[in-house]
Amino acid sequence: MGQKVNPIGNRLGIIKGWDSNWYGGKDYSAKLVEDNTIRVYLNARLAKASISKIIIERTLKLITVTVNTARPGIIIGKGGQEVDKLKEELKNITKKEVQINIFEVKRPELDATIVANNIARQLEGKVSHRRAIKMSIASTMRMGADGVKVLVEAVNAGMGSVKTAEMAMCPPSVYIPQVAAMLEGSPISLGAQDVNDQESGAHTGEIAANMLTDIGCHYVIVGHSERRAIYGESDVFTARKFAAARKAGLVPILCVGETLEEREQGITEEVVARQLDAVIELEGIAAIADAVIAYEPVWAIGTGKTASPGQAQDVHAFIRNKLAALDSTVAASVRILYGGSMNPANAAELLAMTDIDGGLIGGASLKPDDFLAIGQAANA
């Protein structure tokens, strides 16, 4: 026999199943009708709580509300399945168990408000509100001179649609002066894709950090997965680049991440921790406050494999928790970007994750509309 609904106001755990016995042995399933009352109230209640729009949308999408016209009552999800989906989704967002309470409803409009308040309180108590930092969307531009010109002009023209995110462009070094001139007076920041670890000396073909500041760069990427994998740049060498960038007044975008082989070995956290430790040992934890971190799951870039928002969030949370163990203030303030093939289709869901503060965009940044769409996703 299924569980009976307790009187209004009494707490009830998740209903795992229900059948005709739940209604006194009579089958009223044909009389269940869809009712959107609770959706309206829940939407309004969550919005009032200043919870991210994307989290509200995902929560509402997972709730099925039915009203038994023969015996008034609101059921969240048939057979408890949607409730379980909602709990699992909220757990992915909050990293904590969320209890959803169900009440018997005799006055649908009033009691829908009660159910909405109940769910909203769960979210308010356990969803981390976005830290008071600005999201960053950075482009690693890989194209020729004509493509650079078209991209920069188009993104500049569309910046009115990006309300909250800081947008940055990191073109190949030979195009930095061209892009710098085009971005003059623009809200878009300028960065570089790489930097040498030496301040001066005989290093033919290399670009020193002070050269980048001279031509107007604000950011520079260090430790990109391609530099590590193709050119054999070590954690220690990357840390020296990080130090050189900071000394010159640049903001390093420190890339960390594991290969497919490392993920399959189950050593993702060990790899990311090692990459972070190299910088912290050289520069100290306080130096991270002057930087941006970008998590690149190398196995999800150009391989046909994709990291789910939950998988990305898990590593971002690991990074923040590792930093918090050394300095909670630094951990709370540092921006951690996601660099695993973010695109217009997945940006909103990824950016809704508690510890994802923006994106380091590769292929999607080559199309102005796509790059702007990702920036717009940060408006939520």
Q: By the 8 A CB rule, do 235 and 273 touch?
A: no
Residue 73 to residue 76: CA distance in whole angstroms: 10
Task: Say whether 224 is catalytic.
Answer: yes
Residue 368 to residue 104: CA distance in whole angstroms: 51
Q: By the 8 A CB rule, do 114 and 346 touch?
A: no
Q: Which two tokens stand for residue 366?
A: 């080559």
For Cα atoms 304, 300, 293, give the angle at the middle one, nearest 5 degrees: 155
List 166, 224, 233, 349, catalytic entry? 224
Residue 301 to residue 224: CA distance in whole angstroms: 12
Candidates 35, 33, 31, 107; CA nearest to 70 is: 31
List 166, 233, 258, 296, catalytic entry? 296
The DSSP letter of residue 44 is: H
Task: Say whether 129 is catalytic.
Answer: no
Q: By the 8 A CB rule, do 271 and 240 touch?
A: no
Give the helix/strand (H/E) hosting 220.
strand 219-222
Q: By the 8 A CB rule, do 357 and 135 touch?
A: yes
Using the CB atoms, write b or e for 58-75: b if 16+ within 10 Å: bbbebbbbbbbeeeebbb
Reduce the DSSP state of residue 21 to 3 states and report it: helix
Angle between helices 309-324 and 268-283 (to 10 degrees): 40
Active site residues: 224, 296
